[in-house]
Chain A
C-alpha cells in the first residue's frame, strides 16, 4: 500500500526550514528519500533503516519512527536548489519492493 506524504506542496523563502512527512499503514523495514526536478530522474537523498542506521546526504537529515511507522525529512536553511518534488519510498515486511508516495512539491523562492 502506498505511503502517504504531507504536505502535498510547500513554498518557502530561501533560508527557511521545511519538514516533509511520510506515513505507512504497515510496519516498515526501511524508508528511502529521493528528490526529482521537473523532467529529470529522481536522485537519491537518504535511506533510513529499521534499527537506526542511516545512509545518505550530509546536508539533509531525517528521522524514522518505527513505532509510528513514519519518517520525516528535514530541510534546513533551504536553498533555491532544494526546489523539486520529494518522494519517500517504503519497504514493508510483506513486500520485497519499494513503494513510493505521491510526492511533496517544494518550491524555494528568493
Chain B
C-alpha cells in the first residue's frame, strides 16, 4: 500500500540535543512538507520541497533544518536552536504543485523535550 511513514511515533529529547525526524513516502510525489502542530492550534509550515535537492523555508523555519537528497525522503532536524520544540510534527506530500493537489499526511511524530 502506498503512503507516508514517519518515525518514531514518540520521541523524547533532552534540552540542547539535536534530533532528526524521519519521513518517507512511496506515492511517487514530487512535493513534500513539514508542519508543526501545537495543542489547539492549526498546522504551521516549517519547510517544503517541490523537487529533489531543493527546499524552501516555511513560516517557522528558525531552529529547523531539512534535506531532500531522494524523492522518497524528507528528514527534519530539530536543532538546539529551536527554543520550544515540544509539539506534534506532521509530514505530508502532494503529487505536484500544491495549489491543485491534495496533501497526504503521515501519522506524525510527537516530540517532547525534557
Min CB distance B98 to A, Å, is 6
The answer, yes or no, to whether A30 is at the interface (CB within 8 Å) is yes
A98, B103: Cβ atoms closer than 8 Å: yes
B100, A87: Cβ atoms closer than 8 Å: no
Chain B, range 40-66, C-beta contacts under 8 Å to A: 40-45, 48, 56, 58-59
Chief secondary structure at chain A's binding surface: strand
Chief secondary structure at chain B's binding surface: loop
Residues on B with C-beta less than 8 A from A43 are 105
The answer, yes or no, to whether A81 is at the interface (CB within 8 Å) is no
If A41-B108, A42-B105, A44-B102 touch, whether A96 touches B97 (CB-CB below 8 Å) is: yes
Q: How many A-B residue pairs have CB under 8 A?
A: 58
Contacts from B to A (Cβ < 8 Å): 33, 35, 40-45, 48, 56, 58-59, 90, 97-108
Q: What are 30 of the A-B contact pairs (CB < 8 Å)? A: A2-B42, A32-B102, A32-B103, A34-B103, A41-B90, A41-B106, A41-B107, A43-B105, A44-B103, A44-B104, A47-B102, A49-B99, A56-B102, A87-B43, A91-B98, A91-B99, A96-B98, A97-B56, A97-B58, A97-B98, A98-B33, A98-B45, A98-B103, A99-B45, A99-B59, A100-B35, A100-B43, A102-B42, A103-B40, A103-B41
Given contacts A29-B99, A40-B108, A102-B40, 15 further A-B contacts (CB under 8 A): A30-B100, A41-B105, A42-B90, A44-B102, A47-B101, A49-B99, A87-B43, A91-B98, A96-B97, A96-B98, A98-B33, A98-B45, A99-B45, A99-B59, A100-B43
Contacts from A to B (Cβ < 8 Å): 2, 29-30, 32, 34, 40-44, 47, 49, 55-56, 87, 89, 91, 96-103
